[in-house]
Amino acid sequence: MKVTLSENLSQVWVDGTSDARVSYGLVALVSQGLSGASPEEVLEIDPTAVATALGLKGGMMQKAPGRQNGLSNIIKTVQEEVKARMKEAAAPEGISTIINASNTAPSTITDPSPIATSTPPAPSPLQIPLLAHSFASDEVAVLLSGGVDSSVALHLLQQQGYKPRAFYLKIWLEDELAHLNQCPWEEDWGYASAVCKQAGNVPLEAIPMQKEYWARVVAHTIQEAKEGRTPNPDILCNSLVKFGVFYEVMGNRFNKVATGHYARAVPSVGGGGGGGGGGREGGPMRLMRSPDRIKDQTYFLSRLNQEQLTRATFPIGEYEKHEIRAMAEKLDLPTKSRKDSQGICFLGKKAREREAEGGE
């Protein structure tokens, strides 16, 4: 959710989207209803009365109170951003102000344009675009890696009224052999623990999956290499372990599992179609690219099936890396300055030293 003001500060423009169909409708409703209004008009709205005023208290909204809270939180987020934009406008010269110079409403991102040749400026530290998710249950499992991306994902869900339960997956080498490749899971665990503590002691649990990772990913990779083929272990890890074994372990305990991937899972419009499974609203799920073409990770998620995509959610999938870093700075996350790693643990320390600006 992004909020901008016109040059003369007389109008508010709201833009955003979501990877859940109902939430997408709520965001669109707010965007259309508030865009063009004055800052004063937006700030006068009572967020808690909006659902009743619009007749949205019954039906699906009543079955899933999180949706009512989500709508209220969207309004609150817009109001907070309007205040921030007004504060920026009144600040001395030198403090950046994010405005809509064309005085026209920004369009919703559907198919991000090719990456620009120049590096875009980071958003103001005052701007935190929050995601407007709405799920049938308010408890969401978050796979926390100890990096900045999954840390921000956890906070985005939490700030929308959901109750994240964090899980750290140990996916390489038995504990007594971990020193051989210097895979710093203990360091990752330390960061993950610090993030959860800062977020209000969010429950965090380590799930040992070394044996499963070896059997389903490493052994297969080695065998394929012997045959002269080059499988991608990250693709296998996502489909067979993170969204495979973890689902098997958790069963139906969580309707949604969130990760810090730069991708989007979007229900198809109209329903039906092949592929099996499908979104909660009936249509098959579609794996869509992130606006950040450099950080986009849809390739590594390309083997997820419909059942896996239906339960997956990617809270940071709407944003670019520089925005995630800015959010981490504003939230003062323990991971805000931590560099990104390649994440292929069994390649050893040298691979991790070649830390690219890649996702988790």
* Cβ proximity of 149 and 360 under 8 Å: yes
The one catalytic residue among 237, 241, 324, 328: 237
3-state secondary structure 109-169: CCCCCCCCCCCCCCCCCCCCCCCCCCCCCCEEEEECCCCHHHHHHHHHHHHCCCEEEEEEE
Write down the residue that tokens 């939180």 correspond to.
73
CA-based angle 81:24:97, to the nearest 5?
20
DSSP 104: S
Active site residue 237: yes
Separation of alpha carbons 276 and 283, rounded Å: 9
Q: Are the C-beta atoms of 348 and 181 separated by less than 8 Å?
A: yes
Do the beta carbons of residue 274 and residue 310 sit within 8 Å?
no
Secondary structure (3-state) at 236: helix
Residues 196 and 48: their CA atoms lie apart, in Å, by 28
| β-pair partners for 263 | 289
Question: Could you tell me the sign of the dihedral formed by the alpha carbons of 217, 220, 223, 229, in that order?
Answer: negative
- Positive or negative: CA dihedral 326, 327, 330, 334: negative
Active-site option among 345, 352, 359, 360? 345
On whether the CB atoms of residues 170 and 338 are closer than 8 A, the answer is no
Task: List the beta strands (DSSP E) in 8-93.
Answer: 12-15
- As annotated, the active-site residues are 237, 345
